[in-house]
Amino acid sequence: MTLIEIFIVFVFVTGLTYAIILIARDPIYSLKAFLRALKPSNIFIIVLFPIWFPIWIADKIFDLRIYVESIEDDSKEKRIEFKDFNKYIIIESLDIKKIEEIIDSFIEEYDPKEFNYSLKNVDIRFFEFNESILLVLSENIGFETFNMLVYFLSNGISDSKIYAVKGIVINKFHRNMSYFINSEYNYEMKLTGKDYKNKKLYVEFTSENNSTERIYYNPSLEYVKNFNFDKFINDINNLTTEIKAQHTTRGVHNAGF
């Protein structure tokens, strides 16, 4: 084989391997993306009509939500009771001073009367946790405040890698109802994540949607990395045991607002 032939084979094998990896890690998203590509928004829509039209008919009959106008059209709403969850935020940084400064800025920038975001009487405990900082928030933090705080911290930790801030809520009664969120810059005013069963979801923090505690399941979201909830819960339990053994509840630092 010549060098050109070797190069062509290498490019083909590399591209095929990458495509297989993309499909394997998120098959539903990959399938829907492929089917949507069969119905282009240009002149080829006529050429490919015999292919996409039967799929379009099936989509309408069975509500498969393949051909949608916007990402929201493929969403299914689920209402939750935020008080039933334990709330945590993991920040991949050990700079506690900077984290405190960001939280202080959050308090200063968002007037609770105007935005309905408030950390008043909310206790935040800081712990070193697997080379990160874990924020343990008291139960009285509101749904909308928690979501915006995750978003605000994500923007504030600008020198860290992407997805450096993750909001995690663990249902106290049904572990499989737990979920996590992080800031996704591809979606405006949304935090994307997954639930305990690795189903993709998002929360919105626009003013008109803040008053209701709800999450939206959406398989058409771009790839979201899985999260090991069981390991996280075990680590939290071990941390709690260690704290009790030390006769303290302060951890690294304790902040009440």
Structure token digits, residue 21: 């990896």
pLDDT of residue 182: 92
Characterize the bridge pairing of strands 214-217 and 200-204.
antiparallel
pLDDT of residue 18: 66
pLDDT at position 168 over 90:
yes
Q: How confident is the model at residue 161 (pLDDT cuts 50, 70, 90)?
A: low
103-152 confidence digits (pLDDT tens): 999 988 886 777 778 898 899 999 988 889 999 999 999 999 999 999 99
Q: By the 8 A CB rule, do 141 and 89 touch?
A: no
Cα(129)–Cα(241) distance, rounded to whole angstroms? 14
Minimal CA–CA distance to 178: which of 232, 108, 100?
A: 232
Structure token digits, residue 11: 């490019």
> What is the chain's mean pLDDT, rounded?
82
Q: How confident is the model at residue 93 (pLDDT cuts 50, 70, 90)?
A: confident
Q: By the 8 A CB rule, do 125 and 254 touch?
A: yes
24-82 confidence digits (pLDDT tens): 767 777 777 777 777 777 777 888 888 888 887 887 787 777 777 777 888 999 999 99
Structure token digits, residue 175: 């572990």
| Whole-structure pTM value | 0.79
Cα(229)–Cα(145) distance, rounded to whole angstroms? 23
